Chain A
Amino acid sequence: MNMMHEIVKEWLEQEKIDLFIGYKVVDGHPLPCFFTRENIDDVDNLVESKARYPLEKIAAKVYSTHPEMKIGILARDCNQRALNVLYVWNQLDPEKIETVGINCCPSPAREHADCSYLEREPSGPLKTLIGIENNLKPEQAEVYSQEERFKRWSYEFEKCIKCYGCRNICPVCFCKECSLEHSDLIKKGELPVEIPIFHLVRAVHMAGRCIDCGLCEDACPANIPLRLLYREVNQITARLFDYRAGTDSGQSPFSILGENVTLEPMSL
């Protein structure tokens, strides 16, 4: 039994939490799993898992039907950022959530990392030649001329099979009505999707919202560099409004849910 098991068991026994959302290996696959007080010995099977699922999205689902439940959750840095976004948008109550932090992305303070995103392979020669390499940083993707950038991004967007996987897996996508399903904006049953509107609609909605977990890119069957795209819009949000999703408190400057809509950029 390791320390993580001890903490979770202790929390469950002391009724600090009613259930814990973590991972358990079933038939060789690490799967999201609920651990409860009634089945406390099962906590010994709790694992960190290299495969990541949007656990906080599952927690939000539980909260929507059982708001009284206190939920424990296994949290990498990305889960923690997603939780913060869900808190500020009132999708989860921070009073009801306890997190167990685990090792994640590497940083100067932490060399070892367990994050699945790190295993992404470099793109092949064709994609490097005419598309956008997924591992680029936003500033590296900006070196192309405007015309070439548009061509390269169009190549990427054309591959989209409109599976909506990027939206479905996204831990911070929770709108009841989605613009991507609005018949006036996006035509039904047409492929390829309208370029670049389909992806830019989503990108605009990700500004001030995306917590850079990379789950969308993991789920994309066409390997579109979505993480890079959303990083770009988030950098603009940070530059213009001084707002960083997942770490800053308060809703993003693009909140149109409040009574007063102010889209005032910070002084440059």
Chain B
Amino acid sequence: MDYQMVPSICPYCGVGCGVLLEVIDGKLAGTLPLKTHPNNEGKLCIKGWNLHEHVVSDNRLLFPLVKEEGRFREVAWDEAIEISAKRLKAIIEEFGPDSVGVLTSAKMTNEANYLIQKFSRAAIGTNNVDHCARL
């Protein structure tokens, strides 16, 4: 059997607690607080303790879905991006850029968050940007 403890950072909020991901035979099986991490000193909140669950969850979205006539259809990434771009463009043309808001995520990296705010300001033309850590 293979057992590994992989140190990582909790992606949920801005605190950045150290976590230990328990990997048994290549599968994510549990989360422990990283005791020697300076941010959380071996403590976690309930979201951090259950970090592994959203990775292995049955409800996790693994591919893009498009809703057509009330039903979801699995599509390729290119098609999904094309549909989103067309709809966004149409909305911006009809109602103006401030009719669009962008919600980013604490679960993404700093770089990804930078990109999405740049996208909303430069491509869409709005400063309606917010983030789940401000909720």
Kindly state the separation between the CA atoms of A219 and B7 in the bound complex, as whole angstroms.
17
Q: Provided the pairs A165-B33, A218-B35 are in contact, do residues A32 and B5 lie with their beta carbons within 8 angstroms?
A: yes
Nearest chain B CB to A173's CB is how many angstroms away? 13
| Bound CA span A52–B7, Å | 15
Q: How far is the CA of A30 from the CA of B3 in the complex (A)?
A: 16
Docked Cα-Cα span, A53 to B37, in Å, equals: 14
User: Which residues 34-76 of B sit at the A interface, judged by CB distance below 8 A?
Assistant: 34-37, 40, 42-46, 48-49
Contact across chains for A165 and B5 when beta carbons are under 8 A apart: no
> Which of the candidate stretches A61-69, A90-98, A136-144, A238-246 sits at the interface with the other chain?
A61-69
> Chain A contact residues: over half helix, strand or loop, or mixed?
mixed
Interface size class of B (residues with CB under 8 A): 20 to 34
Q: Do B37 and A163 have beta carbons less than 8 Å apart?
A: no
Number of A-B contacts (CB under 8 A): 66
B10 at the interface (CB under 8 A from A): no
Q: For the complex, is A175 an interface residue (Cβ under 8 Å from B)?
A: no
- Contact of A29 with B33 in the complex, beta carbons under 8 Å: no
B122 to chain A, nearest CB (A): 37
Once the chains bind, are B7 and A51 in contact (CB under 8 Å)?
A: no
A51 touches B43 (CB 8 A): no
Report how far A14 CA is from B113 CA in the complex, Å: 54
A220 touches B43 (CB 8 A): yes
Q: Knowing A51-B42, A53-B32 touch, does A33 contact B5 (C-beta < 8 A)? A: yes
The answer on a CB contact under 8 Å between B49 and A62 is no
Q: Please, could you name 27 A-B residue pairs with CB atoms under 8 Å apart, sorted by A?
A: A27-B7, A29-B34, A30-B36, A31-B5, A32-B5, A33-B5, A34-B3, A52-B35, A53-B32, A53-B35, A58-B22, A62-B3, A65-B24, A66-B1, A69-B1, A163-B46, A163-B48, A164-B49, A168-B49, A169-B32, A169-B33, A219-B33, A219-B42, A219-B43, A219-B44, A220-B43, A221-B45
